[in-house]
Chain A
Amino acid sequence: MSANPNQQNIAESLTQVPSEFRYLIKGDRKQRIMASMVVVVMVAFYLLGLYVLEINPLRIITGLGELGKIVWLMLPPDPETWERAIRLLFSLIETISIAFLGTLLAAIIAFPLGFLAARNIVSLRLPQFMMRRGLDSIRGIDTLIWALIWINVVGLGPFAGVLAIMCSDIGSFGKLFSEAIEAADRKPVEGVKSAGGSHLDTIRLGIIPQILPVMLSQVLYYFESNTRSATIIGIVGAGGIGLYLAEQIRTLEWQQASFSILLILIAVALIDALSSRIRFAIIGGQQQ
């Protein structure tokens, strides 16, 4: 006699479960072995990476003291003179302008490209596919690399920065726009078409009203993240506050550097708050 009749009942009903579902109850041993294998391999790769790159955790620990020293030297943030503070503020405005112009130009250029890369607009598969792949390739090159290229073409300064941001964002916007176009509801398009609208009419009246708010919110989001990118590309010489920051770090002017960083943080926070408000207003407008 079993001490626990319940256990016996469970064992009994388990035999009635079709064999292909039994693993759901007993657990598939093979799957568990596979899962632990994956974990072991990943840990091995990680350790290999540490070895190849000669990463020594001790160096971080000894370096921590150095980091603390730098932070100490940074306090309090101080531009030293008013004149310098104003110059930094203007270069910050330059950075924001680079981000704004670059994003806006990219959006304007990507707008028609997005349509050309959308499957529901261009019925010929090959050109549509090539446009999509082309946008992917542009997107694959980082803003920083575009900046280095454009500096060689148009020289140091904010213009190179604008072109760098524009180039890398054309790819991103083109892809995002074309995906928004492909996700658009087909019914309004059919409505316009059934009334005798041309292909262009169906795009203008059936699709654009649907996707415009989505596009606007994407552009705002990118403007926000491009303010950060514009700082980085400034470091390689494409204008803006990044140029000053790089100089301050190189000459060990830590208090000035921390003042620049503080300015950037405040600007990014402000743009972030503002753009999320605008984006919410655009998208939320649907439920009004």
Chain B
Amino acid sequence: MLRISNLSKKFGTKSAVDNVSLDVMRGQFIGVIGRSGAGKSTLLRMINRLAEPSSGSIVWDGTDVTRLKGRELNEWRRRSAMIFQQFNLVGRLDVLNNVLVGRIASTPTWRSMLRLWGDDNRTIALAALAQFDMAGYAAQRAEELSGGQQQRVAICRALLQEPDLILADEPVASLDPRNTKLVMDALLRINKHFGITVLCNLHSLDLARTYCDRLVGLSHGKLVFDDVPEALTDSIARELYGIESDDVLAKQPSTPISDFVPAAAVA
């Protein structure tokens, strides 16, 4: 279980995240919602320690991860895999090597320097790619792929980390609707199949209601909503999003979740 207590992040005098406390249970698919600049991204980055908290603690199974250093920190980063809006792949490296970066924390330095990942890891990477219909692109440079394909490669990289937690920071914000569905379905499958906890920043309420089983709303860095998606009324949403609310509120009724879950995951 992940327990976030009184977590704050200040940039100068401005608070990006302001005294947030949150308990995350294993296996949950949590959507973090709120308008741009509400602190969603900073919150997720602090959990992976890409950003350092100004105060507060993040405790995973009894360990305060905000105090980790060196090898232990790298090990925590392996367990809390990040997925980024801009994919953050190594563009000039081929897809297979990008996926193998997921093994970096468990690979000795001399091996990673020479990119000697080992046949077993290569096989696992290829298998992960095959799961998302990406095995055929294994030898291609990552930068040559479309956004949706790159994000699926990034998901494979995250899977190879064998994480307990996936932190997805606006994973579909730069994708078209078809790829949005592909990527969100992939995250849902990971969540249901492997029981990996997912924390996903989403701008679109429609997506958040469709995929998540719990929603957390941030406004000006403060936690203002924490409940099941059904409890999020239009008036709360308007309050959360302010002038952006017209953009994010569903113009059409959202699709029931059963339409999205792949057959294998439901069974």
| Across-interface contacts of B90 in A (CB, < 8 A) | 188, 191-192, 205-206, 209-210
Binds A, one of B33-41, B73-81, B171-179, B239-247: B73-81
- Interface size of B by CB at 8 A reads 33
Does B84 have its Cβ within 8 Å of any Cβ on chain A?
A: yes
In the bound complex, do residue A194 and residue B48 qualify as a contact, i.e. CB atoms below 8 Å apart? yes
Given A196-B77, A196-B161, A209-B93, are A191 and B88 neighbors across the interface (CB < 8 Å)? yes
In the bound complex, do residue B91 and residue A193 qualify as a contact, i.e. CB atoms below 8 Å apart? no
- Interface size of A by CB at 8 A reads 23
CA A191 – CA B154 in complex, angstroms? 9
Given A190-B50, A195-B101, A196-B74, are A204 and B112 neighbors across the interface (CB < 8 Å)? yes
In the bound complex, do residue A201 and residue B91 qualify as a contact, i.e. CB atoms below 8 Å apart? no
Given A195-B78, A205-B112, are A187 and B86 neighbors across the interface (CB < 8 Å)? yes
Chain B, residues 96-109, CB within 8 Å of chain A (1/0): the string is: 01000110110001
In the bound complex, do residue A201 and residue B84 qualify as a contact, i.e. CB atoms below 8 Å apart? no
In the bound complex, do residue B92 and residue A192 qualify as a contact, i.e. CB atoms below 8 Å apart? no
Partner of A190, one of B84, B105, B112: B84
In the bound complex, do residue A195 and residue B86 qualify as a contact, i.e. CB atoms below 8 Å apart? no
Does A48 have its Cβ within 8 Å of any Cβ on chain B?
A: no
Partner of A191, one of B75, B92, B101, B115: B101
Partner of A195, one of B97, B115, B144, B157: B157
CA A188 – CA B91 in complex, angstroms? 8
CA A194 – CA B77 in complex, angstroms? 6
Which A18-52 residues have a C-beta within 8 angstroms of B? none
Report the tally of A-B residue pairs with Cβ distances under 8 A: 86
Chain B, residues 58-100, CB within 8 Å of chain A (1/0): the string is: 0000000000000000111110011010111111110001000
In the bound complex, do residue B78 and residue A286 qualify as a contact, i.e. CB atoms below 8 Å apart? no
CA A205 – CA B109 in complex, angstroms? 12
In the bound complex, do residue B91 and residue A198 qualify as a contact, i.e. CB atoms below 8 Å apart? no
| Across-interface contacts of A188 in B (CB, < 8 A) | 88-91
Does B227 have its Cβ within 8 Å of any Cβ on chain A?
A: no
Does B143 have its Cβ within 8 Å of any Cβ on chain A?
A: yes
18 inter-chain pairs at a CB distance below 8 angstroms, sorted by A residue, are A187-B86, A188-B91, A190-B50, A191-B84, A191-B87, A191-B90, A191-B157, A193-B50, A193-B77, A195-B77, A195-B158, A197-B105, A198-B74, A205-B97, A205-B115, A209-B90, A209-B91, A209-B93
Q: Which residues of A contact B (CB under 8 A)?
A: 185, 187-188, 190-198, 200-201, 204-206, 209-210, 212-213, 286, 288
Excluding A188-B89, A196-B74, A213-B92, 16 further A-B contacts by CB distance (< 8 Å) are A188-B91, A190-B50, A190-B84, A191-B87, A192-B90, A195-B158, A197-B74, A197-B101, A197-B112, A201-B104, A201-B109, A201-B112, A205-B101, A205-B104, A209-B92, A209-B93
Q: Which residues of B contact A (CB under 8 A)?
A: 48, 50, 74-78, 81-82, 84, 86-93, 97, 101-102, 104-105, 109, 112-113, 115, 143-144, 154, 157-158, 161
